[in-house]
Amino acid sequence: MTAGRPILRFETVSKHFGGLSVIEDLTFAVRRGSRTGLIGPNGAGKTTVFNLITGVYPVDAGRIYLDADDITNVPSRRRIRNGVARSFQNVRLMRHLSTLENVLVGQHSRNGGLFGVLQPISLSARNRWREEARAGLADAGLAKYERATVGGLPYGVQKRIELVRALMAHPRLLLLDEPAAGLNPAETEALHTHLVQICRSGDITLLMVEHDMQFVGALCEELVVISFGRKIAEGTPQAVRQNLLVQEVYLGKPAVEQEREAVAESPLVAAGVSRAS
Amino acid sequence: MSGYAEGILILLAINVVFAYGAFLPLAAGQLNLGLAAFAAIGAYSSAYVSNVYAIPALAAIPFGAFAAGIIALIVAVPVLRTRGIYLALATFALGQIVQATILNLGFLGGAAGYPVNEFIRLPFISAFTVAVVALVALLFGTRFGIAVTAVHDDERVADLMGIDVRAFQVTAFVVGSAIAGIAGGLYAHHFSYIEAQYFSVTLSITIVLNVLLGGTQTVIGPLLGAAMFTLLPELLRGSAHWRYVVFAAGLIVLMALRPEGLLTGDQLRQLFGWRRTDDEGSRMPREGPT
Amino acid sequence: MLSQQVVNGAMLGSVYAMVAVALTLSIGVLNFLNFSIPGLFMIGGMSSWALIHAGMPWPVAAAGALVITAAASLVVERFTWRWLRGAEHFVPLVSSMAFLIFFENLAIIYWGSDLRSVPILFSGADWRIAGLVVGVPQLVGLIGSVLLIWGLSLLLKRTRLGRGLRTIAEDSDTAMLLGVDIYRVVPFVFLMAGIFAAFGGIVFALNYRHVHPFMGEIVGLKGISAMIVGGMGNIWGSIAGGLVIGITEALAIGYLGSDFVDIAVYGLLLLILFVRPTGLFTGMQVARGGI
């Protein structure tokens, strides 16, 4: 029964660059079909985690499991076939390709064999791969940008194209690196709706790095918090919010002390109303 | 057709093939400064089999291309482990070595050059040119073209998307070298005499500059560049050397003003009347809450 | 005789070293491979011949050739680097290649493609040191190269200009933030590259007594080998690299025959690129001032 097995599992993973330890003994799991957020202060190592998952960096210790597969030593090129696709912090589309062609790149892992590579995609009038890509763009409301060279498109549009490209790989785990960064409120709202829709079927699990706490709070069912390469909390947003260690990391020790004093002096507490801890 | 016009068209046809030989690796983001050497391999091996074994040019020239391709494959593996400028220099060194080696092979004429018996004319040559252009155009209409451009634009992301970057780079390098071999074979069988000194690094550089003139973003760019390089100076009617001076000067100015070359991907899409959505796209979408 | 060949090789090597220094300066400071430098080498050599041919005494001709080549180099600067900050990274390389073709063909048009002889200027003035023959022009070349390099190292270490260059070599954006006027400083790189390349051409002309428009392609390009062997951006490495290439060439001529020279020199380059592309002599980069 696969329903219980997490889609992603980190087991005591460590990574260092030179003498600097960036990820230290990291262990966490992402529930299948969930919308999970990976949060933490700047420099915590969140993008490094993504790079380890996709194989950009090899781990120095520990293991990474994608569903039932141990992908720790799988070369980066093959991991997309294991089912993990990602978007990037600074949008990384191929600037010399059109929107449609960029999306077609996303299909490569499913159609990259010798026969697939020689498919006359851009030549034949009807081609199921091209139709699939066009449908993907249409679903995201981007049909009118099909022929445009991506270099000239606005940032928000490029981000959405990148998402469509990642989805073309039919991933089981979708990694999103700051998907809401740089978007205006309308775009953020649209993104939220789109992501909820994607996850509705339960086939895709979302793991996202984000700094926009409102966005994370509205979208994510579970959070993993890391700081200085170590996990400091894991659980629902409510639980995480009340975790003192997390508060310390985000607010700093003095602020947490002030919080405690304020609570202690509160008339409500004096009146006997207890506060969940 | 006058002999003069035929001569120009033959030169154009051969230059176009050469240009596509340079285009393939450039499209994958690599500079092959040893291109002329692969043309030399194609020229000499096709000339040798047609001279010694009386094999008709129709078969000899593809054989030359095959020989060039095989050598390219053998050297591609170590050479393509280098990157960027080191790669360009490795191909440059390779080109010099091949040229020097051919100069030493007595049975190929050495420094005195090698005469070629069979003679081919414009229809034959242009058939090969059309075939090469069609082949490359078809190739780039497949997922191969998209993957190669992806590798050129962003190797890291291409790799993460599942594209075997090394395989595509090697393929582009080998196919480009084989095409250069065709150009060499055509040259040998028309000009009836080949010498190693002709296949120099300046020839490689000139062909690469042809392609950059036309633009590497589209499949038609090399055709355009080769056409400009071959035909435009005819209007100026200077000596062969003035052609190069003007070409070089023109390219220098072009690089300063418009480095992407004469024809960009965007313009090509425009040219064919496909809706240019950029202008619309750059304004904020009007739908959505205001 | 082995030692004589080594001496000859060292002399040839100093020529390659000059070209290599010019190349390595451009790569070290500006991060682009300046393909016009072999062309400047040729201009230096051919214009020194032309001025001697016109009757000038050789020191004047040499000075004139330096000026002409420096001017040509500044033209290259204007059209490769100056207009192109921020453009695609390959553009300066491509433009410099176009300049090589430009100079070569211009020289053919102006001077014809034949070999030109430089008259014997230092007759009978050969020195015999420990049984080895060293000609005066060779000595001039050797001493001159050493002086030039020494002057360059002083410039880089002790002057404001030199500090500016080293800062740019480190990071050109930071250099601008630190107040280095890039547009005033960079032309000096081209100026110096032109001077070194020209000096190499002049030494070649005086020593080997022939010049032709293809000498940049045939001789100057080997300076690239020397640069790689010595390590890109490494000035003393260029000297060492030049010597290695020059001696390799001399030994190849002596033991394998002149047919195999190019194979030996470029084979060595290829080997270095595969095995140790950073060059044989590391640790001394322009940026770190340890030249």
What burial class does residue C43 get, using C-beta atoms within 10 Å of its C-beta: 0-12 exposed, 13-18 middle, 19+ buried? buried
pLDDT at site B170: 93
Helix (H) or strand (E) holding A67: none
Q: How far is it, in rounded angstroms, from Cα C41 to Cα C37?
A: 6
Q: Tell me how crowded residue C186 is: count the other CB atoms within 10 A of its CB.
A: 21
Q: How far is it, in rounded angstroms, from Cα C91 to Cα B24?
A: 19
What confidence category does residue A223 fall into, taking pLDDT thresholds of 50, 70 and 90? very high
Select the more confidently predicted residue: B187 or A260: B187
Out of B156, B163, B275, whose CB is closest to A108? B163
C132 SS3 class: strand
Residues of A with Cβ-Cβ distance to B271 under 8 angstroms:
none
Residues of B with Cβ-Cβ distance to C33 under 8 angstroms:
85, 88-89
- Nearest partner of B34 among B177, B217, B196, B184, judged by Cα: B177
pLDDT at site B172: 95
Mean residue pLDDT across chain A: 86
Q: How far is it, in rounded angstroms, from Cα B74 to Cα B252?
A: 35
Stretch A191-197: mean pLDDT: 90
- Nearest partner of B12 among B195, B229, B243, B178, judged by Cα: B229
Q: Which of A115-129, B136-150, C144-158 has the lowest mean pLDDT?
A: A115-129
Nearest-Cα residue of chain C relative to residue B111: C259
The model's pLDDT over A126-167, given as tens digits with 9 standing for 90+, comes to 788 999 999 999 988 899 998 888 888 999 899 999 999 999
Percent pLDDT > 90 in chain C is 36
pLDDT at site A18: 84
Q: Report the neighbours of A using a cutoff of 3 or more CB pairs below 8 angstroms.
A: B
Out of A105, A118, A121, whose CB is closest to B161? A105
- Asked whether the beta carbons of C9 and C240 are under 8 A apart, the reply is no
The model's pLDDT over C21-31, given as tens digits with 9 standing for 90+, comes to 999 988 888 88
Stretch C271-289: mean pLDDT: 70
- Phi-psi group of A9: left, alpha or beta (phi > 0 → left; psi -120 to 50 → alpha; rest → beta): beta
- Asked whether the beta carbons of A46 and A40 are under 8 A apart, the reply is yes
A161 SS3 class: helix
- Nearest partner of B76 among B185, B189, B178, B218, judged by Cα: B178
Bridge partners for A233 per DSSP: A225
Q: How far is it, in rounded angstroms, from Cα C276 to Cα A10?
A: 38
As a whole number of Å, the CA-based R_g of chain B is: 20
What confidence category does residue A250 fall into, taking pLDDT thresholds of 50, 70 and 90? confident
Percent pLDDT > 90 in chain B is 57
**Domains of chain B by residue range:** 3-200
Answer yes or no: do B248 and C260 touch at CB < 8 A: no
> What DSSP letter does each residue of B75-98 carry, written as one string?
HHHHHTTS-HHHHHHHHHHHHHHH
Tokens 């550089």 correspond to: B205
Out of B146, B275, B277, whose CB is closest to A97? B146
C32 pLDDT above the threshold of 90? no
pLDDT at site A255: 63
- Nearest partner of B136 among B20, B223, B25, B46, judged by Cα: B20
Q: How far is it, in rounded angstroms, from Cα C117 to Cα C99?
A: 25
Q: Which of B146-150, C65-69, C173-177, C197-201 has the lowest mean pLDDT?
A: C173-177
User: What would the two tokens of residue A254 be?
Assistant: 């003095």
pLDDT at site C84: 61
Nearest-Cα residue of chain B relative to residue C260: B100
Assess C263–B contact: CB distance below 8 Å, yes or no.
Answer: yes
What confidence category does residue C73 fall into, taking pLDDT thresholds of 50, 70 and 90? very high
- Nearest partner of A136 among A112, A110, A111, A103, judged by Cα: A103
Residues of C with Cβ-Cβ distance to B242 under 8 angstroms:
105, 109
Stretch C247-265: mean pLDDT: 87
ipTM of this complex: 0.85
pTM of the model: 0.87
H helix intervals, B121-220: 122-140, 143-153, 155-160, 165-191, 201-214
Helix (H) or strand (E) holding C210: strand C210-211
Q: Which amino acid is at B252?
A: I
Count Cα atoms within 13 angstroms, Cβ side, for C194. Answer: 22
Select the more confidently predicted residue: C283 or A193: A193
Q: Which residue out of B23, B138, B153 would a mutagenesis test of the A interface target, given it has the greatest number of A Cβ atoms within 10 Å?
A: B153
pLDDT at site B130: 97
User: What would the two tokens of residue A44 be?
Assistant: 């915590």
CA angle A3, A34, A111 (to 5 degrees): 80
What confidence category does residue B290 fall into, taking pLDDT thresholds of 50, 70 and 90? very low
Assess B280–A contact: CB distance below 8 Å, yes or no.
Answer: yes
Q: Which amino acid is at B244?
A: Y
Out of C33, C87, C99, whose CB is closest to B252? C99
Dihedral (CA of C92, C96, C102, C107) sign: positive
What confidence category does residue A269 fall into, taking pLDDT thresholds of 50, 70 and 90? low
Nearest-Cα residue of chain B relative to residue A142: B281
- Nearest partner of A97 among B162, B171, B212, B269, judged by Cα: B269
Number of helices and strands in chain A (H, E): 12, 10
Q: Which of B143-147, B214-218, C196-200 has the lowest mean pLDDT?
A: B214-218
The model's pLDDT over B223-279, given as tens digits with 9 standing for 90+, comes to 999 998 888 777 766 677 888 888 899 888 888 887 777 777 777 766 665 433 333
Out of B88, B97, B245, whose CB is closest to C105? B245
Q: How far is it, in rounded angstroms, from Cα B279 to Cα A152?
A: 9
pLDDT at site B180: 97
Please give, rounded to a whole number of angstroms, the shortest distance from the CA of A35 to a CA of chain B.
22
Q: Tell me how crowded residue C1 is: count the other CB atoms within 10 A of its CB.
A: 9
pLDDT at site A108: 92
User: Which structural domains are found in chain A, ordered by start?
Assistant: 1-83+171-236 (3.40.50.300), 94-170 (no CATH), 243-277 (no CATH)
User: What would the two tokens of residue A273 be?
Assistant: 């109303």
Phi first, then psi, for residue C112 (nearest 5°) are 80, 160
Bridge partners for A231 per DSSP: A226
Q: Which of A105-119, B265-279, C9-23, C68-82 has the lowest mean pLDDT?
A: B265-279
The model's pLDDT over A24-65, given as tens digits with 9 standing for 90+, comes to 899 999 999 899 999 988 878 899 999 999 999 999 999 999
pLDDT at site A259: 67
A68 pLDDT above the threshold of 80? yes
CA angle C277, C283, C289 (to 5 degrees): 125
A183 SS3 class: coil
Stretch C84-99: mean pLDDT: 77
As a whole number of Å, the CA-based R_g of chain C is: 18
